[in-house]
A and B are shown apart, each in its own frame.
Chain A
């Protein structure tokens, strides 16, 4: 089985590189920016400052979500688990809505001393997502009880979602921007955001790689895992922290991108059967490639207009899973 893991890993890497090259060529104006790059400073700026960071950012974001999805599914021992399970999506939405509301109230740059404006939409979304997960943990009194954690996540999600709806009702002018956030966008990713996300991704990959045996143990059942000598409470808390950090980082930068976290591990599993150590890495790679491909289509299909990238991730990832289920159903 090991060679297949390496094969898939390499294939995902190559796909990522090909898509990155494509990403530099696709946009509102198309290929000519790439050929004119050397002579035309505007073309250089478009390719270097806009296309490359958002393409690379889409990969990193997708990788964060894919990793978070694999961690969530292992942690909750549930194939339907996704990164937004602990309420981070609603928390991030509420943070974004509040930031947009305050930004709308303050008329100009002179007023931007307001701390929420300083924090910006990205910061507010991140803080919102992290606070939501902490709230869920508080409700569940720690990360020990899977069911309590799930229930806490659902409740926090519903309550914060309702709070976000209240904010948007009071200020309907943020609806458009909120929709942009809810369906995801890579338009705001610059090099700074990409390097920040990449740093966090590296950290999360490392930690989750170290924690992979815990997920393998959990797959056998909690009591078996405990009997294997794993210090479950602490390790679980660490896994929840990885999950929350990955999700909050991705959501804050690119909005609520649907389905990547849920689909990436499922796309990997039929291709290779492996332990969590490989599954986590491959899910990250798969998530990256999925989001990158979706982003390219979102930018290219109706250029210079853009589609929300979340719509395409659901169409592509979901479509592939549909086909997979259909094919397997036929075989049985």
Chain B
């Protein structure tokens, strides 16, 4: 009890001189002796979060999928989430490794005495929380993460307000990959669509990324189809889709590789993602 209370107190004053302490997504309490200066990030959205907090210079290594902002592409790559190169990570002498909960590198790195924090943002609320947690870890004043979140949130809001009246309430189907796997209301992408005032044809009850029967989409008859480039949809449609209203009127937005990264990653670029989707809605619905 006493230690928990102390911990709480420590968190409260983390921004001051006390060592930064957070509870990560694995439920583990991590305390750093001092604010880290050599960070390795193994998840693109965490890389982006560190940089969005203007601490990009503290990164010394990233995973091979981290590609934004452009400056991180010059950093040493230490493998991917599936196959991190432990030796390369250790050689960079990091004082903090940020990774996904699902990464298997965590236990190994901890055994080697490297502080590890597992964070895996999946929703809008997660993005906000993770920004706060990274802010604490980096020893930034709490206002920094708060300000950043307000900017992002205002960006999403502005994207929603930029929509013409005719595009509000549009029924959208978002395909994340061939299958078809859809982004449901419960997904990060779905949350953004809700903020834009669009209606998702895939209800939250089906889970975040359900694999659908293609005829479900024909029956739902969406106004607009959005497709990540990861899906081959643009090149080879499913049988029976040619006669759908959205297909006939070419109300299909295909997000290219760069844009797809922005749209599907739960990270600080979610305002940009909202702008891309809003652009699609106002372009396609006339």
Interface hub of B80, B178, B206, B243 (most chain A Cβ within 10 A):
B178
Which residues of A are found within 8 Å of B236, using beta-carbon distances?
Answer: 120-122, 188
Q: Indicate with 1 or 0, residue by residue over B165-186, a CB within 8 angstroms of chain A CB atoms.
A: 0000000000011111100000
Asked if A121 meets B234 with Cβ closer than 8 Å, knowing A45-B240, A46-B240, the reply is no
Among B178, B206, B214, B254, contact of A109 (Cβ-Cβ < 8 Å): B254
Which residues of B are found within 8 Å of A189, using beta-carbon distances?
Answer: 239
Asked if A46 meets B239 with Cβ closer than 8 Å, knowing A103-B232, A173-B230, the reply is no
**Is A306's beta carbon under 8 Å from chain B?**
yes
Among B181, B210, B214, B256, contact of A108 (Cβ-Cβ < 8 Å): B256
B179→A42 contact, CB < 8 A? no
Which residue of chain B is the closest to A41 with respect to CB atoms? B243
**Is A112's beta carbon under 8 Å from chain B?**
yes
Which residues of B are found within 8 Å of A177, using beta-carbon distances?
Answer: 177-179, 230-232
Number of A-B contacts (CB under 8 A): 129
Which residues of A are found within 8 Å of B219, using beta-carbon distances?
Answer: 28-29, 33, 42, 46
A188→B235 contact, CB < 8 A? no
**Is A265's beta carbon under 8 Å from chain B?**
no
CB distance from A33 to the nearest CB of B (A): 8
**Is A222's beta carbon under 8 Å from chain B?**
no
**Is B24's beta carbon under 8 Å from chain A?**
no
Which residues of B are found within 8 Å of A185, using beta-carbon distances?
Answer: 179
A142-163 with Cβ < 8 A to chain B: none
Q: Indicate with 1 or 0, residue by residue over A163-181, a CB within 8 angstroms of chain B CB atoms.
A: 0000001001110110010
Among B65, B213, B229, contact of A28 (Cβ-Cβ < 8 Å): B213
What are 23 contact pairs spanning A and B, CB under 8 A?
A27-B213, A28-B213, A29-B219, A45-B243, A46-B218, A50-B214, A53-B239, A100-B230, A107-B229, A107-B254, A107-B256, A109-B254, A172-B65, A174-B177, A174-B230, A176-B230, A180-B177, A180-B178, A180-B211, A305-B212, A306-B211, A306-B213, A308-B211
Q: Identify 16 new A-B residue pairs, CB closer than 8 A, beyond the known A42-B218, A299-B213.
A: A28-B213, A41-B243, A42-B219, A45-B240, A50-B215, A100-B230, A103-B235, A105-B229, A106-B229, A112-B235, A117-B235, A169-B80, A173-B260, A180-B181, A190-B238, A304-B213
Give residues in B with beta carbon < 8 Å to A.
65, 80-83, 176-181, 206, 210-216, 218-219, 221, 229-232, 234-236, 238-240, 243, 254, 256-257, 260
